[in-house]
Structure 1
Amino acid sequence: MASFQKYSTKQGQLWLFKMDTGINAQTGKRTSTTRRGFKTKKEAQAAAVKLEQELENGLLINNNNFTYEEVFKQWYSNHCKTIKVSTKKTIESKFKTHILPRFGKLKIKDISKTYCQKMINEIADTIASANDIKIQANQVFKFALKMDIITKNPMEHVSIPKQQSDLLSDETEANERNYWTKEEIKQFLEITKKEISYRDHSLFHLLIYTGARKGELLALTWNDIDFEAATIRLAKTLFHNEGEFIIQTPKTAKSKRLISLDGQTLRLLKQWRIRQKEANMAVINIIVDNNMVFTRDDGNPLRLAYPNEKLNTVIKKHNLHPITIHGLRHTHASLLFEAGASIKEVQERLGHEDIKTTMNIYTHVTDTIREQTATKFQRYLEL
């Protein structure tokens, strides 16, 4: 049986429970555990019931001998029920590739701050997203701390080494820009209009003219486009998992948005809808009823990697400045700023949850804006 108790912290009143966990096979002595940090008594009671079940099933034998991987499995068994399939796949990949190979077989109580810092330094030398890895690895340590498996979190004060890319000169950064200028966009669309399918040209046009994420456009149905109101609703995204296409809601509330379309884009989409209907009618023994805007010839959604592959092919063939699919989204934001849009307008159009994301694009805006700023200053002085 568990006993429950309220206690005071700097954050306010919290609950803990104490429970007899049986006899330690190594010492022959009875053991107990105290688990704290629960906001309500009801939450503590639920955790106590779960612990009793784990004890009955033989899942908890001796907290002191738990490896990091064993604690990870306990944490993830609950956490995975609260997240989307796409997020699960991302988290599982990070643990499998970067975290478990370094921490998995170690007893979690023996992992030190020094070791954690060393591992994060190694990871930072190989990938740019070391902070994401640290955040995920830290979730397991925080869970272990809450469950009284460890008494201190060794990951808590680990710092992320400054990336070499942060120290690059302006000239190097300019050479590695992940966006196109207005002239480069015009050149690219002229090429795609002549050399690739109307479907693919329409897809790239929409990526550039809306700033939408590729998953958002690949999940589009014709019902999402209002030709009368000249708007497009972006409220879902396409995800591919183990051979299955999944349509799911966006990661954040801000990602759900209704944005305006220009006349040229509307005319292009109307023409694509006509061509798509004609192509579907010409296909024998295939019924396309998903109403999706961009599909393969058999009516199935396009692969998420397809736009990337097509973009790279055109860039290499015509020796264009290399950018990624996400770079087209960056390009849309940069050109909006160039056209005079406010930071708030760009944030809402791109669906950024945090305005800092928009500000980061603004600070990397094209050279054209900087030149225009200098010209405006000169003209003002000459008045």
Structure 2
Amino acid sequence: MATVRKFHGSYQVRWMYFDRIEQVKKQVSKSGFKTAKEAKDYGRNMEALNQQNKLYLSKYTVESFLKEWITQKSKQVSKKTAENYRNAIDNHIVPKLGKKKLNELKKIEYQKFIHSKLDTHSVSSVKLIHSVMSNAMNYAVDNEIIDRNITLKTDLKKSNNMETPKTKFFTKDEIVAFLNTLNVKNGLYDMFFILVANSGMRAGEALALTWGDINFISKEITINKSVKRINGTEFEIGKPKTESSIRKIGLDDYTLAKLSAWKSEHSAYLLRKKLGKSEYVFTTAQNRTRPPHYRTILKNFNIKLDTLGLPHIGIHGLRHTHAVMLLEAGASIKYVAERLGHSNVEMTLNVYVHLTDAMKQNDMNKFANHLGLA
């Protein structure tokens, strides 16, 4: 029952409601009413809305509901599963549907969202996104937050005219233009982009890199760990994606020189800020043991691309670019597979099945040259 009291020259009302997400009773208060009757009427109205479930219907957006749902769900699943769920929510669902009221989301809107994802992502990736949304909506129905699950019977098949998503990468001219703008004196982001583009490392592998992993004498990097996000703020450093991801790769003199310069820049910064020494190649500006967040890196990456008028290819696109440039230069598919940490050559072939124009022309020239026709 709502209760009213005098509070700082006006009236305050308090009332109880049942939080259907956390399954506990909570108390809410609101102040600033001129009369006790106004406060009492407001409290009774809120209690009535809560009883009718309308308070919840007006409260939740898709984003706010999923934020509360994943907090509860993370307690029931493994860290890796929770990480995958958060990725689907943060990078796919929220950007497109997050601002919609949960109870106003229509089935046709959700189906269009799924079809848009099928245009640019694999079926398996879209199935994961759909699974997260469907599970969350089931939870909302079970707890009487919404009346029905609009994700049921969603079509997850690609239409016949949908093309297989093509791997995004820079052309030779684009990657050269991009690299020419980078300078380690600008900070960690430029060094990060240089390293990923020139090594083909995964973003998580690069973020977990320590100075002890880099051998400036043998010109090699040892890759044996990766950063994994557990939720929006927490992280852990563990084994890479697969056993084949544990590997040693060679580095060119240009990249090694940039790393050496960055080591000096980074050490000098940590000294100025009295943060001490760091074994990690990439850390935040405030913490010598904490890697920067992937989303912050991606944001800075996209800003640079917009400035240069280059297409958005994602951080992983730098890894793809590295592989494509190697193949264009004549590297064997086996070498590229081992360098990327793929478990087999077939995986590499599947990823880079769409040959670049330069590779196609090069192969045609090889045929003509072999027959003495050139």
* Coarse TM-score class (shorter-chain normalised): 0.5 to 0.7
Report SS of the residue matched to 1:307. Answer: helix
Letter in 1 for 2:334: K
- After superposition, what is the alpha-carbon deviation per residue over 1:305-362, rounded to whole angstroms, capped at 9, x for unaligned? 1221122111111212432211111111101111222222111111123544311333
Query: Is 1:131 the equivalent of 2:124?
Result: yes
Look up the match of 2:227: 238
Residues 239 and 304 in structure 1, CA contact (< 8 A), matched pair in contact too: no
Query: Which residue of 2 is the match for residue 205 of structure 1?
Result: 194
1:297 is matched with which residue?
285
- Hey, what does 2:336 align to over in structure 1? 346
Task: Provide the secondary structure at the position in 1 that maps to 2:170.
Answer: coil
Q: Report how far residue 182 of structure 1 moved.
A: 2.0
1:236-283 deviations in whole A, cap 9, x for unaligned?
222332422322222321222211111221111111111211121111
The residue type paired with residue 246 of structure 2 is K
Local SS of the residue matching 2:270: helix
Corresponding position of 1:217: 206
Q: Equivalent residue for 1:80?
A: 77
For residues 77 and 296 of structure 1, what CA distance do their matches in structure 2 show? Answer: 26
Structure 1 residues 308 and 90, CA gap change in structure 2 (3 angstroms):
closer
Paired residues of 1:334 and 1:361 also in contact (CA < 8 A): no
| Residue pair 1:94, 1:133 contacting (<8 A) in 2 also | no
Q: For residues 353 and 138 of structure 1, do their structure 2 counterparts lie closer, same or farther at Cα, with a shift above 3 Å needed?
A: farther
Distance 1:268 1:343, change over 3 A: same
Distance in 2 (CA, whole Å) between partners of 1:227 and 1:90 is: 35
C-alpha change, 1:167 and 1:359, in structure 2 (3 Å) is: closer
Per-residue deviation, 1:119:
12
Q: Report the residue type matching 1:251 in the other structure.
A: K
Distance change (3 Å), C-alpha of 1:77 and 1:366: closer
Change (3 A) 1:163 1:180: farther
Q: Find the aligned partners of 2:208 and 2:164 in 1 and give their Cα distance.
A: 38
Match of 1:31 in 2: none
Contact 1:216 1:238 in 2 (8 A): yes
User: SS of the counterpart of 1:364?
Assistant: coil
Percent identity over paired residues: 30
User: Matched residues in 1 for 2:209 and 2:187: separation?
Assistant: 17
The CA RMSD over aligned residues, in Å, is 4.4
SS state of the match for residue 188, structure 1? helix
Contact 2:114 2:126 in 1 (8 A): no
Tell me the distance in 1 between the aligned counterparts of 2:299 and 2:160. 28
Counterpart-to-counterpart distance in 2, 1:79 and 1:270: 44
Gaps of 5+ in 2: 1-72, 97-107, 136-151
Unaligned segments of structure 1, at least 5 residues: 1-75, 99-117, 142-154
1:182 aligns with 2:179: no
Q: What SS does the corresponding residue of 2:209 show, helix, strand or coil? A: coil
TM-score using structure 1 length: 0.59
Rounded Cα–Cα distance in structure 2 between residues aligned with 1:200 and 1:167: 32
Matching of residues 77-156 of structure 1 within 5 Å? 80-81=77-78, 83=80, 86-87=83-84, 89-90=86-87, 124-128=114-118, 129=121, 130-134=123-127
Aligned 1:183-332 pairs, distance under 5 A = 183-193=173-183, 197-240=186-229, 241-283=231-273, 286-298=274-286, 299=288, 300-332=290-322
State the Cα distance separating 1:225 from its structure 2 match.
Answer: 1.0
Contact 1:220 1:293 survives alignment (8 Å): yes
User: Are 1:343 and 1:358, in contact at CA under 8 Å, matched by a contact in 2?
Assistant: yes
Q: In the alignment, which residue of structure 2 is the partner of 1:364?
A: 354
Aligned with 1:160 (options 132, 157, 162): 157
Count of aligned positions? 280
How far apart in 1 are the matches of 2:232 and 2:163?
36
Identify which of 327, 333, 348 aligns with 2:323: 333
The separation in 2 between residues aligned to 1:246 and 1:301, in whole angstroms, is 10
Map 1:368-379 onto structure 2 (within 5 A): 368-379=358-369
